[in-house]
Chain A
Amino acid sequence: MAIQPKRNPMPVQDPKERARNFSEVALGYTVKMAEDEASRCLGCKNAPCVTACPVNVQIPDFIQKIKEGKHEEAYQIIRATSSLPAVCGRVCPQERQCESKCTMGIKFEPVAIGRLERFAADLHNAQVLPPEKAPVQNGHRVAIVGSGPSGLSCAGDLARLGYEVTVFEALHTAGGVLVYGIPEFRLPKSIVAKEVESLREIGVRIETNVVIGKTLTVDELFEDGFEAIFIGSGAGLPSFMNIPGESLKGVYSANEFLTRSNLMKAYAENTETPIMKGGRVAVIGGGNVAMDAARTALRLGAEEVKIVYRRSMEELPARKEEIEHAEEEGVIFSLLCSPTEILGYENPTDPRDPKNGFVKEMRCIRMELGEPDAKGRRRPVPVEGSEFTMPVDTVIMAIGTSPNPLIKSTTKGLEVNARGGIVVNEDGLTSREGVFAGGDAVTGAATVISAMGAGKTAAAAIHAYLSQK
Chain B
Amino acid sequence: MYRIARKKILNPTVIQMEIEAPLVAKKAKPGQFIILRVHEEGERIPLTVAGCNREAGTVKIIFQTVGSSTLLLSKKNEGDCIADFVGPLGVPTHTEGVGKVCIVGGGVGCAIALPLAEEFHRLGASVTSIVGFRNRDLVILEEEFAACSDRLTVMTDDGSYARQGNVTLPLKEYLESGETFDLIIAIGPLVMMKYTVLTAKPFGVPVTVSMNPIMIDGTGMCGGCRLTLNRDGKRVTQFACVDGPDFNGYEVDFDEAMSRSRMYADFERHAYEQTCNLFQKA
Residues of A within 8 A of B156 (CB): none
What per-residue 1/0 map shows which CB atoms of A236-252 lie under 8 Å from chain B?
11101010001111101
One of A172, A209, A246, A248 near B237 (C-beta < 8 A): A246
Which stretch, A9-17, A186-194, A210-218, A364-372, touches the partner chain B? A210-218
**A271–B68 CA distance with the chains assembled, in angstroms:** 11
Which B-chain residue is minimally distant from A240 (CB atoms)?
A: B237
Q: Is the pair A249, B221 in contact by a Cβ cutoff of 8 Å?
A: no
* A237 in contact with B264 given A209-B84, A210-B86, A214-B87 (CB within 8 Å): no
Q: How many residues of chain B get a CB closer than 8 Å to chain A's CBs?
A: 43
* CB-CB contacts below 8 Å: B265-282 with A: 265-268, 271
Q: How many residues of chain A get a CB closer than 8 Å to chain B's CBs?
A: 41
* A259 in contact with B216 given A237-B239, A247-B226 (CB within 8 Å): yes
Residues of A within 8 A of B224 (CB): 252-253, 256
Q: Does A260 interact with chain B (Cβ within 8 Å)?
A: yes
Which A-chain residue is minimally distant from B257 (CB atoms)?
A: A247
Q: Is the pair B219, A406 in contact by a Cβ cutoff of 8 Å?
A: yes
* CB-CB contacts below 8 Å: B65-97 with A: 68-69, 83-89
**A237–B226 CA distance with the chains assembled, in angstroms:** 11
**A248–B257 CA distance with the chains assembled, in angstroms:** 10
Residues of A within 8 A of B260 (CB): 247, 249, 357
Least distance between B157 CB and chain A CB atoms (Å):
20
**A208–B237 CA distance with the chains assembled, in angstroms:** 29
**A263–B224 CA distance with the chains assembled, in angstroms:** 15
Q: Is the pair B88, A238 in contact by a Cβ cutoff of 8 Å?
A: no
Determine chain B's interface SS by DSSP, over half rule: mixed
**A264–B37 CA distance with the chains assembled, in angstroms:** 11
Residues of A within 8 A of B68 (CB): 272
Q: Is the pair B43, A209 in contact by a Cβ cutoff of 8 Å?
A: no
**A242–B271 CA distance with the chains assembled, in angstroms:** 34
Q: Does B44 interact with chain A (Cβ within 8 Å)?
A: yes
What per-residue 1/0 map shows which CB atoms of B114-131 lie under 8 Å from chain A?
000000000000000000
What per-residue 1/0 map shows which CB atoms of B211-226 lie under 8 Å from chain A?
0000011011111101
Q: Is the pair B23, A274 in contact by a Cβ cutoff of 8 Å?
A: no
Q: Is the pair B223, A240 in contact by a Cβ cutoff of 8 Å?
A: yes
What per-residue 1/0 map shows which CB atoms of B39-69 lie under 8 Å from chain A?
0011110000000000000000000000011
* A215 in contact with B23 given A238-B221, A242-B237, A354-B265 (CB within 8 Å): yes
* CB-CB contacts below 8 Å: A263-295 with B: 263-265, 271-274
One of B41, B43, B86, B216 near A215 (C-beta < 8 A): B86
Which A-chain residue is minimally distant from B271 (CB atoms)?
A: A272
Least distance between A292 CB and chain B CB atoms (Å):
15
Q: What would 15 more interface pairs be, CB under 8 Å, given A247-B253, A264-B43, A406-B242?
A: A172-B84, A214-B87, A216-B23, A234-B221, A236-B221, A238-B222, A247-B237, A248-B259, A249-B263, A256-B222, A274-B264, A274-B267, A354-B266, A357-B260, A357-B262
Show 18 residue pairs from A and B whose CB-CB distance is below 8 angstroms, ordered by the A residue. A172-B37, A180-B221, A209-B84, A211-B89, A211-B219, A214-B27, A214-B87, A215-B24, A238-B221, A238-B223, A240-B226, A247-B256, A256-B216, A354-B265, A357-B260, A404-B220, A405-B242, A406-B242
Using a CB–CB distance below 8 Å, which chain A residues touch chain B? 170-172, 180, 208-211, 214-216, 234, 236-238, 240, 242, 246-250, 252-253, 255-256, 259-260, 263-265, 271-274, 354, 356-357, 404-406
Using a CB–CB distance below 8 Å, which chain B residues touch chain A? 23-24, 27, 37, 41-44, 68-69, 83-89, 216-217, 219-224, 226-228, 237, 239, 242, 253, 256, 259-260, 262-268, 271
